[in-house]
Structure 1
């Protein structure tokens, strides 16, 4: 019984411990986040400088190097040969009326009619959708944000709309062909600010996604950084906290089995 009480006390203390805070990605993609496809972090690189209000590195997702399927629900991929990437955050608590605030930068080498696209969503803890925060899409004529033929974004975007900055697309996350371009529409948006007021208190996740429309040629990616909720950096528990929690839960399981 003494051992059980010690474990319970340790778990309680862990629960009350303030998590490490990281609105930026200076320490890499947090181990507690889940990536399907190609995700990573980078300092200022090629056509993507550091984000306003961010740290010394930003997070990114890319179609390059991904064998995963990824699409915005209800939109699709344009063909079975498409690929993409999705990154989801750890669940975090937000108060009613809290402002979710972050920056993103869309970069694509795929122009003309090969309309690659990207998005961000707010999800409930169980991954059910709450809001489409923004969309971005390759466009040979017109704006890249919001993305054409995609659901309307529910976040306030600044600036909005955003035309693609055509020209050089050199960016390491796009691979060795990152300085290439397929026809009109290649380029980047530059850093765009997204702000969304969360209506109800609860546990939420952030999702970032990018899709290589129709084929796997000429890649597309997106950078993001400076994430805050209610003015505070997005909380990210340290890996050591997870190790302690799992060890405690395992010990409780052993004690329960012995009791029976």
Structure 2
């Protein structure tokens, strides 16, 4: 019985680990606080997560088939389960010190289902005019953005996550988007992940970054609680362990009583 209880707990623990698998970072990722042009996000602030091309790695943070990417960073969330009709929401703020010409850095958020592309939740790109999202030459957004259209807030952006490029501007097109909301209604059940990416284009100078926050499913933060099935397994395991412990205590009481009785009969 002890082995059964232990196995139940292990099964619960493994299931929980599977549902809340570790986040993965390639390049430079971290948590930040409001500074410069990146203010407190509209939800779950004041902190946020970010990725930056500062210290980026070759080939990271890129969209397959889009030419010109050099070094970048990407962040892959833990696996989370969701069902048809669930609402996936988050906020993002694209910040770039690069400008026009051949140095059109970009960022994106991609939804994966069991590791396979499911949707583009936003794409954003350096541009001297027009909307930064969806980015020109990048996949169209599958999500609903709020605001729906966003021109770059131009000027040399001050943001510590840009490293030495903070406060710098290569040419027209540098700046930031401000916080934009992304909402996507899931078309089916699955084991999902979000992939956030940012990359330099054409060179490795004049850095760009992406801040993001408030990733939720139906207004519940992703990874906040185990799935219902996980709780059931954990409760079953705890119940079995509790039963084993009660029986061991009862058996100890019986053995102690027997020893006392034996001594009294001597």
Give the TM-score taking structure 1 as reference length: 0.80
Summarize deviations over 1:86-132 as a string: whole Å, max 9, x none.
1101110001100101100000000111100000010012x210001
Contact 1:19/1:235, CA 8 A, preserved across alignment: no
Query: Secondary structure, in 3 states, of the residue corresponding to 2:57?
Result: coil
Alignment partners' CA distance in 2, 1:168 and 1:182:
8
Aligned residue for 1:194?
182
1:219-238 matched pairs, under 5 angstroms? 219-236=207-224
Equivalent in the alignment of 2:152? 164
Partner of 1:5: 4
Q: How many residues align?
A: 226
Measured in 1, the distance between the counterparts of 2:96 and 2:85 equals 34
Tell me the C-alpha RMSD between the 2 structures: 2.5
Consecutive unaligned residues of structure 1, counting only runs of 5 or more, are 21-29, 246-260
Partners of 2:147 and 2:222 lie apart in 1 by: 23
Moved over 4 A (4+): 15-20
Equivalent in the alignment of 1:117: 106
Residue 62 (structure 2) pairs with residue 74 (structure 1): no
| Distance change in 2, residues 1:19/1:55 (3 Å) | farther
Which aligned pairs between 1:15-26 and structure 2 lie closer than 5 A?
Answer: none
Seen in structure 2, the aligned counterparts of structure 1 residues 11 and 237 have a Cα distance that, compared at 3 Å, is: farther
Flag the 1:74–1:181 CA change in 2: closer, same or farther, 3 A.
same
TM-score (norm 2): 0.79
Q: 1:106 aligns with which of 69, 94, 100?
A: 94
Residues 132-182 of structure 1 deviation map (CA, whole Å, 9 limit, x = unaligned): 111000002222111011110100001122100012411111102211100
Q: 1:56: how far off?
A: 2.8
Separation in 2, partners of 1:94, 1:67: 32
| Residue pair 2:24, 2:75 contacting (<8 A) in 1 also | yes
Cα distance in structure 2, aligned partners of 1:31 and 1:202: 15
Alignment partner of 2:48 out of 58, 79, 93: 58
Q: Counterparts of 1:17 and 1:211 in 2: how far apart (Å)?
A: 33
Structure 1 distance, partners of 2:99, 2:21, is 34
* CA distance, structure 2, for counterparts of residue 150 and residue 225 of structure 1: 23
- Residue 18 to residue 86, structure 1, CA distance change in 2 (3 Å): closer
Matches of 2:212 and 2:119, distance apart in 1: 18
Deviations 1:182-237 (A, max 9, x none): 01011000000000000111110001001100110100000000111122111157
Which protein is richer in helix relative to its size?
Answer: 2
1:13-72: CA deviation from partner (whole Å, max 9, x where unpaired): 44687999xxxxxxxxx9810011110110111110110012231000010111332211
- CA distance 1:233–1:18, change in 2 (3 Å): farther
Alpha-carbon distance change, 48 to 19 in structure 1, aligned in 2, over 3 angstroms: farther
